[in-house]
Amino acid sequence: MRRLYFLPAIRIALRGLRVNKMRSALTMLGIIIGVAAVITMLAVGTGASVKLQQQAASIGSNIILIVPGSTISGGARSGTGSNNTLVLADLDAITANCPAIEAAAPSVRGSAQVVFEEKNWSTSVMGTNEDYERVRDWKVTSGRYLNRQDIDGRTKNCVVGKTIVDELFGQEDPIGKIIRIKKVPFTIVGVLETRGQSPVGQDQDDTILVPVTTGQSRLFGITWLNAIMAKGKSNEQMGKAVEQVTALLHERHRIPEGEDDDFSVRNLSDMLAMAETQTKIMALLLGSVASVSLLVGGIGIMNIMLVSVTERTREIGIRMAVGAKGRDIMLQFLIEALVLSILGGLLGIGLGVLLSKIIGSFGTFTTQVTAFSVMLAFGFSMAVGIFFGFYPAQKAAALDPIAALRYE
Amino acid sequence: MIEVKGLTKIYSLGEQEVRALDGVDLSIARGEFVAIMGASGSGKSTFMNILGCLDRPTSGTYTLDGNAVAGLSRDSLAEIRNRLIGFVFQGFNLLPRTTAMENVELPMLYNGLMADERRRRAHESLASVGLTGREGHFSNQLSGGQQQRVAIARALVNGPPLILADEPTGNLDSRTSAEIMDIFCKLNEEKGITVVLVTHEPDIAEYARRQIHFLDGKVVKDEVRQGFVRTGGAQ
């Protein structure tokens, strides 16, 4: 029976809003801004978090990065990685002696001009071993990976990324073709699967993998390594893995008591987790700020509803005289508050989605509007309407019919 | 129809107590046409408010159509008003920015009638006061007399046995007043609706067979005019 009253009440509410167009628009503005802010902030937060997760996945899980420390020559300290103390023997020791490490791969790298027939391309060349596949969870889509024989025999075989194939071969099958890296001919034995951008925005597919031994002697002319990438056995063992590697290298490099290590060990998963936590905190913070504007919007609704109740005292009296009960009057004003907040909420969602698109199009932030954030914002605006509409509605319902009828 | 005993209403204004009604005993039978008269402050408005279930007496009993009304809750009173009483006010009291149709539908919003039925009854009711064709007019597009007709249609729409009219012609010229009073007479005679009319104009009171005079919260004169023949008005 009460149900039947809803439609006329909504019609009455809409008419009231139409009559006071400016006032309704200004009242809704608070809710519109609040909801739009919530949606936009959540979109920025979600976008950042999704991007981080993609990056985490593209690096591989449970990765430890070991890089040589800095050198000091004549008081000038070079940056991390400038030291030449990290060598292949360290890699073998880590693989053999660290039980928490599943696999480890070396890295010597540099950029090089690559030539195939009349085409050439500048790319990053990396010397590594067969374990790189496992460490990075990075397989080949065709051909084969580098293997032990390539490393031990210093072969001139290489595995290329998708970008190299695109740039040098187009539609042609690159397997078995010979390319020249720094004028040294290499045979392509495999093509890596696509990986996309790295966390710092590099094209990870723009790379060539060669045997570390060949890379050291034929391409870069060094005897040391630029880095070792190790993969922990499990997420739980990451702390142990870092400890074991640190202790082992500390001993192998004979670091004197009280001096800094000549290498550093970093847990990439930790860094990503930290970045993700920061993103979440930021999103939460922005969300809270946005909720405050929703709250202010709600107070605006309450204010306008109180004015409306006073203005329409006589109408309330008439309705009571012809048989409206307290709850009928209450329902009517609650519906009006709800219409305001829901209308504001819907407009706010539209504006929020638009803003998210605009912010996303600048390229600095990735934004993603989720169904959850839309529902949250909408639910929140409805709750605001009910909460702030309640007091004025109750005030209307409690009016004395005689006094209300005589109200001028 | 209406039975009041020892009806008393006391307002306290600070220290002072004002007895707006002081032990009123009255009974009005079904189908009567009663005019309640008296100067302002005589208690006639307070009496009407209590009769209309808009106010509750301080003491005394009030039985309306078999319902003991004096002790009922606000919500129960609202239900009684909806079902048993049609109000017509001096200032018309139509909702602003609302069509005649919607004004007449108003009482039916509160007793759960379906929309089709509401519309049908509102049409009928407007037709009975001669406003067919004006259903879609807004209150401010109607003349005073037409507005009062809408108010009467609204009062009738739930088929109440009692109509309470508080100075219904107070804002109207004499010609329109006569038209409105004719509608009341017709309702009284043809449908047997009890009409209680508050007025201070003797010529309006002339339409009523029974006249009750209030003074200082008491009934001072209650006269049923024998051999009453309805006079005046536009026939």
Rounded to 5 degrees, φ, ψ at B15 are: -75, -35
Q: What is the pLDDT of residues A319-340, one digit of tens each?
A: 999 999 988 899 889 988 998 8
Statement: residue B234 has pLDDT above 70: no
Of B55, B81, B113, the CB nearest to A322: B81
Confidence of residue B233 (pLDDT cuts 50, 70, 90): very low
> Mutate which of B109, B121, B147, B162 to test chain A, going by most A C-beta atoms within 10 A?
B109
Residue A1: the pLDDT is: 45
CB contact under 8 A, A322 and B106: yes
Name the residue among B54, B82, B110 with its Cβ closest to that of A401: B54
Which of A315, A324, A402 has its CB closest to that of B78? Answer: A324
Asked whether the beta carbons of A316 and A399 are under 8 A apart, the reply is yes
pLDDT at position A82, please?
A: 59
User: From the candidates B56, B110, B156, which should be mutated to test the interface with A, based on the most A CB atoms within 10 A?
Assistant: B110
Under-50 pLDDT residues of chain A: 1
CA distance A71 to B133: 99
User: What is the average per-residue pLDDT within B187-201?
Assistant: 92
Q: How many CB atoms lie within 10 A of CB B135?
A: 17
B116, closest residue in chain A (CA to CA): A4
- The C-alpha atoms of residue A406 and residue A408 are separated, in whole angstroms, by 6
Q: Give the per-residue pLDDT at B126.
A: 94
The pLDDT of residue A72 is: 59
Residues of chain B in contact with residue A14, where contact means CB-CB under 8 angstroms, are none
- For residue A88 the two structure tokens come to 């292949």
- Judging contacts by C-beta atoms under 8 Å, the chain B residues touching residue A325 are 74-75, 78-79, 110
For B137-162, what is each residue's pLDDT tens digit? 998 899 999 999 999 999 999 999 99
> Shortest CB distance from A1 goes to which of B54, B93, B112?
B112
Instruction: Give residue A74's pLDDT.
Output: 61
The reported pLDDT for the residue numbered A81 is: 56
Scan for tokens 């006094």, then name that residue.
Answer: A403
Number of H helices, E strands in chain A: 13, 12
Is residue B100's pLDDT more than 60? yes
Q: Do the Cβ atoms of B87 and A321 come within 8 Å? A: yes
Position B235 scores a pLDDT of 39
- Tokens (6 digits) for A49: 């978090």
pLDDT for the residue A18: 81
Residues A91-116 have pLDDT tens digits of: 999 988 888 899 999 999 899 999 99
> How would you label A307-327 residue by residue, b for 16+ Cβ within 10 Å and e otherwise?
ebbeebbbbbbbbbbbbbbbe
Mutate which of A7, A12, A314, A322 to disrupt the B interface (most B C-beta within 10 Å)?
A322
With left for phi above 0 and alpha for psi between -120 and 50, is residue B20 left, alpha or beta?
Answer: alpha
* Predicted complex ipTM exceeds 0.90: yes
Convert the pLDDT of each residue in B41-88 to its tens digit: 888 989 999 999 998 899 999 999 888 988 889 999 999 999 999 999
What pLDDT score does A275 carry?
A: 79
**pLDDT attached to residue A30:** 87
Residue B89: its chain A contacts at CB < 8 A? 405
Size of interface A-B (CB pairs under 8 A): 70
